[in-house]
Structure 1
Amino acid sequence: MRKKWRTASTKRDPKAVPSPDRINRDFTAAAPDRLWVADVTRIPTGEGVFWLAAVRDAFSNRIVGWRCSDRCDTDLVLGALEYAIFSRDVRDGQLIHHSDRGSTYTAIRFTNRLADNGILPSMGSVGDSYDNALMENFFSTLKIELVYRNSWRTRDEAENAIFGYIDGWYNTQRIQKELGWLSPDEYETAWHTSQEAQPEPATVPASPTGVR
């Protein structure tokens, strides 16, 4: 029988002003690094609860950043964000970062880091899984395929298993129906290949007088 754990982790800071919901449950993107979704979940271990923060690209479903910690705090979600920023092609004003209104995501340090990189913040409501369904979908898959099938004595064991699952399996090999039975990495590679194959836009040469 599947084990169950309480997974609620959203604690709102009543003094913080949340960002507007810029996506309204539309988790589609026309290209990589246009919409990221982020959240935090609990992983049980023999040493106690372990927290996983992750960032997922809505275009390819790839996990572009993640971090683990024994504390669910701003440092945890910042670590996942920094991982994503470092590894991806973030362009000023083109990317939306969507999360819930938890205090870790409304923290000034976190919102400033988004602004520093030209990333637009977006937030759903507190504790509503439908407002961040794409991230909830990944956590559900992670729990079913990894967490519920294993137990770890230490947090280090759990983190090593999560690393193997995300970087060694989920992003690189796990095929998904909505991606045309490709893995996230394969889907992005196919997209980049198609973009490179696009013909250059035709240009009209200038006349000797400089008038086209």
Structure 2
Amino acid sequence: MKTQKFLHIFILALLGSIFSNSFNLAWAIENKSRVISSYWQSDSTSYSFIAVSHSSLSGLASQIGLVVNAIQTDQTAFGTAVTFTISAGTTQRIFIARTNHSVINSTTIPTASFIIGTTNYKHGHIRIDPVASNPEISINPAITFLESNLELRGFKDVTMLNYWGAIVIESNTTGFAMEFIGDMHDSSAITSMDSSVPVSGVN
């Protein structure tokens, strides 16, 4: 009986070690349909600002829904996630700020969206998900992929929107930019690229 229990434990441990990498990959956030930013912060002296723009590119749906989450370092949400729909040719502003901020609030900026949390120092990453369950599928499936009329095809793809943001230090109105991974301006250098060549463009 002891040998059989030992054998079961050994087999489970072996399977866990073999499949652990594959199992973890299943839960990874990929930038095929999502956008992330590696850092945001909010406290009594700072807040984060994000702008999302729909550039009306052909191939995009005229309206795209997205969910913006501010995830803290302990993997919990900082305030309630913001869900909104952005229309072609518009920009939506999002502020991540402390409770009862005197200037950054829905009364003084009624057209913006807010993720409001504690006044204590908090930081983490941003995750932007599509509202559409299959953003890679055209909203008009009657039009085939090979047809040239991209405007009628329309994808609800959050990775084709423009994102920019900043961490704002209020005492001297300075700060630093936020980097977004997976958006329209996502960029990276390839290994064969000469170091004198600037990095730009979509991956």
Shorter-chain TM range is under 0.3
TM-score, reference length from structure 1: 0.24
- Larger RCO, structure (CA 8 Å, separation 6 or more): 2
Larger radius of gyration: 2
TM-score, reference length from structure 2: 0.25
